[in-house]
Structure 1
């Protein structure tokens, strides 16, 4: 593992909004987001910014390391693919079984069905392919089979075999994200379709893929905004004539998304009394009006008092006061319950009183200090700092294990339901205390003076107001005492003279109107202003529906503004590039160069360079020439494939964990020398993780088997073939004859020879036919003995590699040479066509068995001779 880019991506993602975390999760486990995925993400964005949706959006699932095969996941083993239906030309119910450890080699000639299996894996597992067209899996385009394309991918995650259903386009299983697939399509991404060679660790690609989602959502939101809002706001303009500073016109201009229905209702109130008043003022202005400042002031005061009487009548009744006592009792009981719970929870703490009011005040102060000064921007409590354990905000000492655990317990208690309920109940009491009526008129210093003004006009009302004022003041004090938990005294009964006050207000209004008849310039101006207010209020009331429509449009437009701000990409792009720069380290480049060195392509004058945009960030191979920026114009196809493999294996090394890898056709366009190097590298990787290789190259197949054996791995081999009816059929032999070494060939011959005795007794003619073929196989095996056993694979047919250092094992005694000659001659004799005259007797079954045993003994003796030769030679020391 080189670096921890995935950890940094995860840490960064925790600061993102829930829908972006959900988008990252979907991107990590899917090669392509479906229309349904995008729709659900759009719903989450709208819900987050206040859209009223007809259906609640799906709950966002946070992004975790397990979603792309990293972190504390349960490692899986890829056991096979089964129950395949309607995929390419694969036979119905086609299946493949993989070796649960080390190496599986799937061999098949062109058209045998290998690609069908690989196409299923690359859509179900992790691949760099993102183009939907490249991921499309076809049915048999020449066949007539109908029905869905399905398969089962069998894994073992530690609890036995589990079949994961697969169909094209479905969301990939997070467990299968541990499996990396390399094939021609993904190789083209590393070489950019033959133009540029690119490399990017999987986890670091996610932020830029998130940008692509954001851009798509922005386009959708812009389109919806144009349709839903557009120029509709201008159509709700109210035509006031003339333009002037009235409450109605100010309300119209100040209308915003925050304007409530209640505010609109209040602003558009228009009654018959208003119309009567407008008519009266109009008439008065026409006839002239006299000033009546004192009456006007008293009229305003009595109007305010009338409203206050109504409020007091509702807020300070006996029932209301009892309700305040209930609120106080509920908050005290809730806090006692929380305190008892804290006492039970923190019995082992060094100090008493944890959970008490004073302790909670201390905790709140510590939290405020932490988030504003000590650790701004970090979630309280902060337990880990860059240098290790964070300092305690109370004692300034490093938080060791016990201290960190205690801080976590305290925070858990503060988040606990009982404490939260107590806090909520206490806040309700505090709010109620804040909202106790202030008695603006009844409690004002000028109340006695105003009362005398009333007494001059209505003594009975003044007496009633005096009694009511005394009761209201005492009841208010009683309400405050109940909420504070203080001792409260009895309160007198409350008789609210509201109807008398309203009647008095009408008398004042009539008096004022009468005085206005005399008129003066100042009062006349006021009357003119009142007239303007009434006129514009009437106009506003008549256009109430326009106000509601405009407000609703502004709410929608504001939601779109917030949604568009939430899908902006600048911050994501900046952070994504920072992550790339952090993790494009010397270690990464070194690993990439090490992989290149293994494939003998270090001579290529190229290097890694980052190239980023909004939706893409790749580590491209820079050809380091001004003549061209297209690497494929310089490199051969084989060099491009070798570089692609180097990039893939570097990415595998950068991915946390040791998930299986699937490699299809790894040696396409490679020469034999590099093909051998690829085989060695794959065998080495198979010692660390499960590796599955698909190939049509029999020489590479043999080479991979050999190097796997040298690495101490016994690969499981599978042979596929096709016929006119279907592809993907599994050859029961396991591998072609050409691919079998000496030991496997002898095993095959023994297995095929088992029925000879019975056949000899029932059909001599058929026996002769079969035994002749088996002698031919025996002759092939003798020939392979020369290459594999006598000359220790120093020279292998089909390759240009000569391992001269193995000559120290070569020695062939005369006795062994004679035995080899005799066995080879016998195999030739009985496998070639002999004269029609019966001059060569056909061996009996037991004789054929003896000939096989002779070959096995010869091989054993040859190997012993080889080891003895090496042991007898002096050890060669390197020259100084």
Structure 2
């Protein structure tokens, strides 16, 4: 047995992650971990991997040598099988009781039910057979039972008998995994599948147990990851119409778990100004020569309307309107003042109204006629033409003195200061009315269409222009009304958009310049590239939520990656294999060779080679041939069985603890020599552990019992039988007669004779019948004594083995020969059928007991004489 490398494991464990140290500590206490343990370990791993846990895992406890104290498995004793139901043809409630120590041998002929019990143990305990269909246990295929297959397996772990309920297909209980089962089905696997050390010495088993835990945790992490992440990352992909190397698409492709919200916001923000620029570029790229002409026309209109708005804003401001009102009022007031003055001057005139508005119009018309038609070149009024009076321009009559004087008075009046002031005021009003801004652009027929063009670029500006137009037209109308003396109405407030229009004009000129440049290839490429950047940035901004979701998924997935890295088994497997090679491999190979030597199969060119594994160490049978054949296709059936037994016993010898072993028909296909070797080997193993053997071979049965007795072991034997109704019945009489040795036969005869003395008193005839049978058994015992006692089993019936080295024990003195002859003769006499006329009396009970005692004493003396003879012989020395 290899030394347990506790120090190596402890030193190595210090290099592991804290949760692994904690796991090793727990595995040192228990061979398995509960779901709660796994949950806690998983929480520790996830915390180390960066998961945000509401309840952090407990702090791991470092692994030290002291933890090994509870690591050993409790020794298990297999006490029996009970309450068997619906298994093969086994009788209901069938059961077997096993010897709790040493050796139990169950004998039965074919069909006696042995295989049914073995199949229960094979599925419940440790076996090399792993395929579920091979381990399936059937009910009686010829019977009518429909219930489940069930039984109780009785074990004792040191605190008394404890039943373990068994059903077909159930998971093996850890306690029963200490029980190793060998049968024909598993024998094939030992030959072709390799000798697998499933339960390593405790210290070596820890890394493999840790690997098993890692694999369980990996399954849990993978399952969680599939639910939490799965294919969700792919669902956050952003669909760009065209694949191109824009900044937006590059950012999308390069998004990682480290991308923060600020970077996402920076990459996925699309401002209104970005949309304006995109629209502008689209317009520029799609524009042609006609677009340039249209833009020129629009620029001209915007410039004109901006100038007109600026002028109108001043011309029709509130202050200007107030000025117009003042001009009108000043003119009216001045005229009234002049008229009052004229009324006072011309009261004696023949006609009234001199100085009124109508009269003034008449006077002005006459003056205009005079200077432009009647008296061109002469000042008005013309009173004389040479020496003659001038003709009146109104009545065409000569101006007499009265008329000339009246004309002079009228002219004097017109040249008067008040009238001049009134005329000047009226002239200022008239000039103001004539100078009113015409609003040519604002009242043009195409104004509305132009505003809509502006609206395409700036809706607010378009609204401002339209609003200003309505307001300024109303104000101009009001201005004209004020100057004309008409009624004035309230006018709306207004703000001139001329500054914004000038800015638009500049923007349009820039656009015009861009259009001009767009005709150049390089500039067009730049615009195309900028358009692509803006388009993809807009898509990215619309899918910002997907970016955040993907980033979060990548963070979670990275945490799962890190967690999976925590449960990687490669390093543990490598170290475990190193420990196995250091502490176990040589022991396995040495033990395997020793077992092959015991079974006389060293001539077979086979060996063991270790095979790496995550949760166990395997040693494969190597046929050491270049042929691509499995071992079972090379060796004979007998060699295969011997090789399989060697592998099984190697595994048993190097297994943790000293758990029971169950062996079914171990000598199938073996010759008698190897059968005897197997018997010796199993008897030897029975000195170390509980051994249970099932066999149908009576010779092997005798060999095994003899080998056990030679080692001081009293084997417990059970005889099974079956009939047409059921199998698995236990013969209450015990072992079959031919399976008993001399001592057991004598004991059997004594037990059978015990009730006969009373029978003699009630039925002499029945007594005679039964005592005659017992004398026949006594004769059989004498015959068996020749083989077993006198000739020391040198030659055994049914075998081809002659143990010549035991001849030195053979001796038979005359006295003992005579006693043997006399005893044998008496047994023959009372067992044979004597003639009816024969007067041989039937022996009384005391006489029969004396005959039994004589045989017992003869056997004792024969053994003593044999030992004395051996001691008296000179020691044999080998020839030189």
Do both proteins adopt the same fold according to a TM-score greater than 0.5, normalized to the shorter chain? yes
Distance, in Å, in 2 between the alignment partners of 1:63 and 1:633 is: 48
1:609 is paired with a residue of what secondary structure?
strand
Distance, in Å, in 1 between the alignment partners of 2:97 and 2:7 is: 34
Q: Superposed, which structure 2 residues align to 1:285-296 within 5 Å?
A: none
| TM-aligned CA deviation for residue 72 of structure 1 | 2.7
Q: Which residue of 1 aligns with 2:662?
A: 662
1:121 is paired with a residue of what secondary structure?
helix
| TM-aligned CA deviation for residue 212 of structure 1 | 13
Q: Which residue of 2 aligns with 1:137?
A: 137
Q: Superposed, which structure 2 residues align to 1:352-431 within 5 Å?
A: none
Residues 89 and 728, structure 1, Cα contact 8 Å, conserved in 2: yes
Q: Which residue of 2 aligns with 1:682?
A: 682
Q: Which residue of 2 aligns with 1:82?
A: 82
1:115 is paired with a residue of what secondary structure?
helix
Q: Which residue of 2 aligns with 1:233?
A: 234
Residues 105 and 716, structure 2, Cα contact 8 Å, conserved in 1: yes
Q: Which residue of 2 aligns with 1:858?
A: 858
Distance, in Å, in 2 between the alignment partners of 1:157 and 1:214 is: 30
- Of stretches 204-213 and 580-589 in structure 1, the one that deviates more from structure 2 is 204-213
Distance change in 2, residues 1:86/1:843 (3 Å): same
Residues 29 and 67, structure 1, Cα contact 8 Å, conserved in 2: no
Distance, in Å, in 2 between the alignment partners of 1:601 and 1:615 is: 31
Distance change in 2, residues 1:198/1:162 (3 Å): closer
Distance, in Å, in 2 between the alignment partners of 1:647 and 1:129 is: 14
Q: Which residue of 2 aligns with 1:791?
A: 791
Residues 190 and 644, structure 1, Cα contact 8 Å, conserved in 2: yes
Distance change in 2, residues 1:516/1:187 (3 Å): farther
1:759 is paired with a residue of what secondary structure?
helix
Could you give the per-residue CA deviations for residues 478-510 of structure 1, whole angstroms, max 9, x where no partner exists?
Answer: xxxxxxxxxxxxxxxxxxxxxxxxxxxxxxxxx
Q: Superposed, which structure 2 residues align to 1:97-112 within 5 Å?
A: 97-112=97-112
Is residue 807 from structure 1 mapped to residue 807 from structure 2 by the alignment? Answer: yes
Could you give the per-residue CA deviations for residues 831-877 of structure 1, whole angstroms, max 9, x where no partner exists?
Answer: 22333446443333333333223322332333333334334444545
| TM-aligned CA deviation for residue 242 of structure 1 | 13
Q: Superposed, which structure 2 residues align to 1:423-822 within 5 Å?
A: 543=543, 546-547=546-547, 549-551=549-551, 553-554=553-554, 558=558, 561=561, 570-571=570-571, 574-575=574-575, 577-583=577-583, 585-612=585-612, 618-627=618-627, 629-822=629-822
Distance, in Å, in 1 between the alignment partners of 2:191 and 2:799 is: 28
Q: Which residue of 2 aligns with 1:322?
A: none
Could you give the per-residue CA deviations for residues 781-837 of structure 1, whole angstroms, max 9, x where no partner exists?
Answer: 111121122222222212223333333333323333233223222222322233344
Distance, in Å, in 2 between the alignment partners of 1:578 and 1:653 is: 21
| TM-aligned CA deviation for residue 238 of structure 1 | 6.1
| TM-aligned CA deviation for residue 516 of structure 1 | 15
| TM-aligned CA deviation for residue 129 of structure 1 | 2.5
Distance change in 2, residues 1:243/1:149 (3 Å): same
Distance change in 2, residues 1:532/1:670 (3 Å): closer
Residues 114 and 694, structure 1, Cα contact 8 Å, conserved in 2: yes
Distance change in 2, residues 1:51/1:828 (3 Å): farther
Residues 128 and 186, structure 1, Cα contact 8 Å, conserved in 2: yes
Residues 68 and 177, structure 1, Cα contact 8 Å, conserved in 2: no
Distance change in 2, residues 1:13/1:141 (3 Å): farther
Q: Which residue of 1 aligns with 2:484?
A: none
Distance change in 2, residues 1:854/1:670 (3 Å): same
Distance, in Å, in 1 between the alignment partners of 2:63 and 2:82 is: 31
Residues 70 and 657, structure 1, Cα contact 8 Å, conserved in 2: no
Could you give the per-residue CA deviations for residues 605-659 of structure 1, whole angstroms, max 9, x where no partner exists?
Answer: 3333345588997433333333555433442221222122222222222223222
Residues 212 and 614, structure 1, Cα contact 8 Å, conserved in 2: no
Is residue 841 from structure 1 mapped to residue 847 from structure 2 by the alignment? Answer: no
Distance, in Å, in 1 between the alignment partners of 2:227 and 2:70 is: 42
1:727 is paired with a residue of what secondary structure?
coil
- Of stretches 795-804 and 256-265 in structure 1, the one that deviates more from structure 2 is 256-265
Distance, in Å, in 2 between the alignment partners of 1:744 and 1:611 is: 49
Distance change in 2, residues 1:742/1:239 (3 Å): same
Residues 606 and 621, structure 2, Cα contact 8 Å, conserved in 1: yes
2:602 is paired with a residue of what secondary structure?
coil
Distance change in 2, residues 1:257/1:141 (3 Å): farther
Distance change in 2, residues 1:562/1:840 (3 Å): same
1:191 is paired with a residue of what secondary structure?
helix
| TM-aligned CA deviation for residue 114 of structure 1 | 2.0
Residues 178 and 659, structure 2, Cα contact 8 Å, conserved in 1: yes
Q: Which has the larger radius of gyration?
A: 2
Distance change in 2, residues 1:9/1:726 (3 Å): farther
2:751 is paired with a residue of what secondary structure?
helix
Q: Which residue of 1 aligns with 2:124?
A: 124
| TM-aligned CA deviation for residue 109 of structure 1 | 1.7
Q: Which residue of 1 aligns with 2:390?
A: none
- Of stretches 145-154 and 537-546 in structure 1, the one that deviates more from structure 2 is 537-546
Distance change in 2, residues 1:697/1:136 (3 Å): same
Could you give the per-residue CA deviations for residues 216-254 of structure 1, whole angstroms, max 9, x where no partner exists?
Answer: 9789959995997448625641659999999x9898666
Aligned residues: 633
| TM-aligned CA deviation for residue 758 of structure 1 | 2.6
Is residue 190 from structure 1 mapped to residue 190 from structure 2 by the alignment? Answer: yes
Residues 665 and 693, structure 1, Cα contact 8 Å, conserved in 2: yes
Distance change in 2, residues 1:268/1:281 (3 Å): closer
Residues 67 and 177, structure 1, Cα contact 8 Å, conserved in 2: no
Distance, in Å, in 2 between the alignment partners of 1:141 and 1:46 is: 52
| TM-aligned CA deviation for residue 145 of structure 1 | 2.4
Distance change in 2, residues 1:209/1:766 (3 Å): farther
Residues 198 and 616, structure 2, Cα contact 8 Å, conserved in 1: no
Could you give the per-residue CA deviations for residues 641-679 of structure 1, whole angstroms, max 9, x where no partner exists?
Answer: 212222222222222322222222221211111111111
Distance, in Å, in 1 between the alignment partners of 2:140 and 2:210 is: 33
Distance, in Å, in 2 between the alignment partners of 1:92 and 1:536 is: 80
Residues 182 and 648, structure 2, Cα contact 8 Å, conserved in 1: yes
Distance, in Å, in 2 between the alignment partners of 1:266 and 1:136 is: 66
Q: Which residue of 2 aligns with 1:72?
A: 72
Distance, in Å, in 2 between the alignment partners of 1:583 and 1:163 is: 37
Distance change in 2, residues 1:72/1:208 (3 Å): closer
| TM-aligned CA deviation for residue 21 of structure 1 | 6.2
Residues 811 and 865, structure 2, Cα contact 8 Å, conserved in 1: yes
Residues 246 and 536, structure 2, Cα contact 8 Å, conserved in 1: no
Distance change in 2, residues 1:677/1:243 (3 Å): closer
Report the aligned-residue RMSD: 5.7
Could you give the per-residue CA deviations for residues 685-716 of structure 1, whole angstroms, max 9, x where no partner exists?
Answer: 22222222222111111111111111121111
Q: Which residue of 1 aligns with 2:319?
A: none
| TM-aligned CA deviation for residue 564 of structure 1 | 6.2
